[in-house]
Amino acid sequence: MTLISSLGYVRVVAADTDAWRKFGREVIGFAAGTGPEPDALYLRMDERPGRIIVLPGERDRLEAVGWEVRDHRALQRVESALDAAGVAVKPLTAEEAEARRVEAGIAFTAPGGTPSEVFHGPALDHSPLATPYGNRFVTGKLGAGHVVVPVTDIDDAYGFYPRVLGFVPRGAFRIPLPPPAGPVRLRFLGTNARHHSIALMPAPKLRPPALVHVMVECETLDEVGRALDRVLAGGYHLSSTLGRHTNDKMVSFYVRTPGGWDLEVGCDGLLVDEASYTAEEITADSYWGHRWDWS
C-alpha cells in the first residue's frame, strides 16, 4: 500500500536506564531482548531483538523512529524519493546497521523535525518470547505500534509523509482553538491496516524528548488491565485513565515513562479496510475515559 511496511522500532536515549529496565520489564511486561550496544536496553515484543531500544545518555530524547520496508529495492525507492524531495539522507554505516540488527538502512530528519530511519532486513531472534507475565503483543504486519511526534510545521510534515513516503492519511482530530490560533488539526497517518502508525502533533518548537507517546498493543484487555494494576501499584504517573479512542477504537491507558514521554498501552485496535475507508475528522478523542492528568 505504501513504500513503508510498518513501524519497525523506536530508539530513545535515556538518562536513567535502570529505571527503564524496571519499568519496561517488570511493569509493562516487555521481554528482554539482545543487541550489541553496550548498556543498551532492548525491549522485545516478538521475534525482533528489540522493538523499543533504550540507549544510555545524558538527556532523554527520541533518537530515531525506525520504519521498515520490504527489501533493498524498497529502500532504494525511499532513498530516491527523499533525494527528489530535497531531504538530506545519510546511509547507516555497517556498524550502525549491525547495532540495529538490520541489513541496511538510511537516516534523515523528517520535515517537522523527527529523527527518522528506514531499514530492511531485520535479523530475527527465534528464541521463545519470555515475557514476564505470559503476555503477548500485537505486532506482525501491523508493526510495533504507533508513535505520536511533535512537529514544528504541521503543513510541511503532513505534506511530506504521504507525498514522499506514501503514508495514507487516516483522519484528523480538530483541536478546538479559536482563531487566529485555531483550528489546529492533529493528523494521523497509516502504513498498513493499523489505523495509524504515526500521528503529527503541531508544536511551536521541539523540546526534548521530542516524543509525545508510543503505543504498544496487547492481545487482550486483561493484559492491559494487569499492566494498569502494576503501573498503579508502582506509583507511576498515569497520564490518562483507561478509555476507548474514537478513531482507532483502542482501549488504552497512558503512563509517563522514565523518559518523560508517555507509553500508551492498549488493545482491541481497529483494522482499517482501505477499500471502504475515508479519512474522518474526530471531534473528541475518546468515547469514554481517557481523563488526562497534565500535571
Residues 6+ apart with CB under 8 A from 291: 240, 241, 243
Calculate the CA dihedral of residues 62, 68, 69, 70 and round it to 10 degrees. 170
Contact (CB, 8 A) for 235 and 188: no
- Tell me the pairing of strands 262-267 and 213-217: parallel
Residue number with the smallest Cβ distance to Fe ion = 215
Work out which of 264, 265, 268, 269 binds Fe ion, going by CB under 5 A: 264
Tell me: does residue 82 bind Fe ion (CB under 5 A).
no
Phi–psi pair at 44, nearest 5 degrees: -100, 140
Q: At what angle do helices 72-84 and 154-165 cross, to 10 degrees?
A: 140
If the CB atoms of residues 215 and 218 are measured against Fe ion, the closer one turns out to be: 215
Cell of 111: 520535515
C-beta of 82: minimal distance to Fe ion in Å?
Answer: 26
Contact region for Fe ion (CB under 5 A) — 84-92, 155-163, 220-228, 259-267? 259-267
Q: How far apart are CA 216 and CA 116, in angstroms?
A: 19
CB atoms inside a 10 Å sphere around CB 37: 15
Please, which residues bridge with residue 286 across strands? 245
C-beta of 237: minimal distance to Fe ion in Å?
Answer: 17
Q: Which amino acid is at 55?
A: L
Contact region for Fe ion (CB under 5 A) — 75-83, 137-145, 261-269, 277-285? 261-269
Contact region for Fe ion (CB under 5 A) — 72-80, 129-137, 152-160, 264-272? 264-272
Site map for Fe ion, 165-204, x if CB under 5 A? ----------------------------------------
Site map for Fe ion, 201-240, x if CB under 5 A? --------------x-------------------------
Restricted to residues 20-79, the positions that interact with Fe ion (CB under 5 A) are: none
Residues that bind Fe ion (CB under 5 A): 215, 264
